[in-house]
Chains A and B, each alone.
Chain A
Amino acid sequence: MKHIGNLLASATLLAALLLPSTADAQCRSYAKNKWVPELAPYKFNETFNAAQLAPGEDAEVSLTFYSGQEYRILVRSHPILGEVNWKLVDGSNKIIFESLADDPKHTFDFKVASTQQLKVQVWVPEAPNANNMTHVGCVGILVGFKE
């Protein structure tokens, strides 16, 4: 009995250690196959910003955009989370573009008149039945540019 208990504990530890990296790897694989193609005809900028988020959590990406280039920002979430809210803000947190979960827009195409830093802020709406379920899902923030 004690032997089974030890085995169970070891299996649990192994699962707990492996799960986050496996989830991240599958998030990458999912993004590569499902989301990156949505950047076309823009070229993916090679940086994968993804986080495993739960309802109520948020993430932020700081980006430099160069004058003369055209960009596409793509924000996507795994279906288990549903749609997420996101916005593009300048250095003073002034909103330039916003997409809300009840009227989602997954992409925003633009160019900048002069090189500047902007931030993409994403937050996951609280789930209606948050009292008894915790969902964790992949959210990806991808950027494409035209060469």
Chain B
Amino acid sequence: MRITLLGWTAGISGLLLLQACGGGQPAQDTLNVDQAADSTAQARKQRTKAIFYNIPSPMETAALLKKAGAQYDKDILNDPNKNSSYTAASKQALNLGIYGADLSYASVYNNTHESMLFTAAAQNLAKQLNISSAFSQEVVDRMEKNRDHRDSLLNIISETYWEVDAYLKENQRENISAMMIAGGWVEGLYIATAVCAAHDTPELRQRIAEQKLPLTDLIALVSTYSGTDQSVAGVLNDLKALEAAYTGVSAAGGGSSVSQEGGVTVIGGSAPSASLTNEQLKAITEKTAAIRNTYIN
């Protein structure tokens, strides 16, 4: 949009100065505009609304699983030593998300040794994807230093995930970001279904059923980039296949009534919790495992 600034020779030095003096506040454009001649203002008015899809992060998913009574099982996670075998950018992005989810899962359950292995694997993939500046050695050193302080470690992991995602988006690599997010989400669902297979509880089934909601948003997010990137289009097909496995699952609940409960605002009423039949759980478990298997191999 602001490419129209190209026509403003008088603004060049101001622009460069703005670049140089960014400081602690985000750069803002304050432009003196002749409204009649300003195509920028007109274009902005016609701009599509900015729409974001907030997919639950690996850390939030791992915390939910722990609350639901899921046990930790390191054997279901991806092998951190496989990271160097991922040479295609699409595989690197998907597995960056997968290792990120494994890292969150291991860290929420306080398995420090495995956390550091997944950190190294993820960092190597970040390096291969040229996003080292968002996932630097300094970050790894901080994690190593805080390995025995669970809360600090979780904060650093969250911060790093955010930095990597934001860096990709800021550098017009949203397709890589979308694949990383998809990989992380699929791994979270895979962990949930694998843990549920070993120790089935109504709470775990509920959390798996509820993933139907963010899956809708994830499909919308990935669709944004599937037209221009064949790898993303492949991931979109995978997610749609997973969506088909969710057919018949009732996950939406609530309603918008608002009440107070112990000083906390509560939204929604008495809708039944989401649940899964055995057949639905089997279909989702198998489809998730099949998709995840193509990503990690």
Q: A residues touching B (Cβ–Cβ < 8 Å)?
A: 8, 11-13, 15-16, 18-30, 32-33, 43-49, 51, 53-54, 56-70, 78, 80, 90-92, 94, 96, 108-118, 131-138, 141, 143, 145, 147
What residues of A have a CB within 8 angstroms of the CB of B25 in the complex?
26, 30, 78
A70 and B167 CA atoms in complex are apart in Å by 28
Nearest first, the 9 closest Cβ-Cβ pairs linking A and B are A114-B253, A113-B268, A46-B57, A116-B254, A90-B256, A26-B26, A59-B50, A27-B26, A23-B27
Asked whether B88 is an interface residue with its Cβ less than 8 Å from the other chain, the reply is no
Q: What is the minimal beta-carbon distance from B12 to any residue of chain A, in angstroms?
A: 5
Having A15-B16, A16-B3, A134-B41, one finds 10 other A-B pairs with CB under 8 Å, namely A8-B12, A16-B6, A61-B51, A111-B265, A117-B252, A133-B32, A134-B33, A135-B30, A136-B28, A145-B60
Q: Contact between B169 and A23 (Cβ–Cβ < 8 Å)? A: no
Interface hub of A68, A111, A115, A137 (most chain B Cβ within 10 A): A115
What residues of B have a CB within 8 angstroms of the CB of A23 in the complex?
26-29
Q: Contact between B2 and A16 (Cβ–Cβ < 8 Å)? A: yes
A28 and B133 CA atoms in complex are apart in Å by 14
Q: Contact between B44 and A54 (Cβ–Cβ < 8 Å)? A: yes
8 A-B interface contacts by CB (under 8 A)? A12-B6, A33-B24, A43-B154, A45-B59, A45-B60, A48-B165, A59-B50, A118-B267
Asked whether B226 is an interface residue with its Cβ less than 8 Å from the other chain, the reply is no
What residues of A have a CB within 8 angstroms of the CB of B154 in the complex?
43
Judged by DSSP, the binding face of A is mixed
A107 and B8 CA atoms in complex are apart in Å by 40
Q: Contact between B63 and A141 (Cβ–Cβ < 8 Å)? A: no
What residues of A have a CB within 8 angstroms of the CB of B33 in the complex?
132-134
What residues of B have a CB within 8 angstroms of the CB of A66 in the complex?
56, 64, 207, 210
Q: What is the minimal beta-carbon distance from A34 to any residue of chain B, in angstroms?
A: 9
What residues of A have a CB within 8 angstroms of the CB of B32 in the complex?
132-133
A112 touching B19 in the complex, CB below 8 Å, given contacts A8-B12, A63-B54: no
A105 and B166 CA atoms in complex are apart in Å by 26
Q: Contact between A28 and B12 (Cβ–Cβ < 8 Å)? A: no
What residues of B have a CB within 8 angstroms of the CB of A53 in the complex?
50
Q: Contact between A13 and B6 (Cβ–Cβ < 8 Å)? A: yes
Interface hub of A32, A47, A91, A133 (most chain B Cβ within 10 A): A47
Give chain B interface residues in 253-297, CB to chain A under 8 Å: 253-256, 258, 261, 264-274
A28 touching B166 in the complex, CB below 8 Å, given contacts A96-B267, A111-B266: yes
What residues of B have a CB within 8 angstroms of the CB of A48 in the complex?
162, 165-166
Interface hub of B55, B58, B166, B207 (most chain A Cβ within 10 A): B166
A31 and B67 CA atoms in complex are apart in Å by 29
Q: Contact between A115 and B60 (Cβ–Cβ < 8 Å)? A: no
What residues of B have a CB within 8 angstroms of the CB of A54 in the complex?
41, 44
A121 and B16 CA atoms in complex are apart in Å by 33
Q: Contact between B56 and A45 (Cβ–Cβ < 8 Å)? A: yes
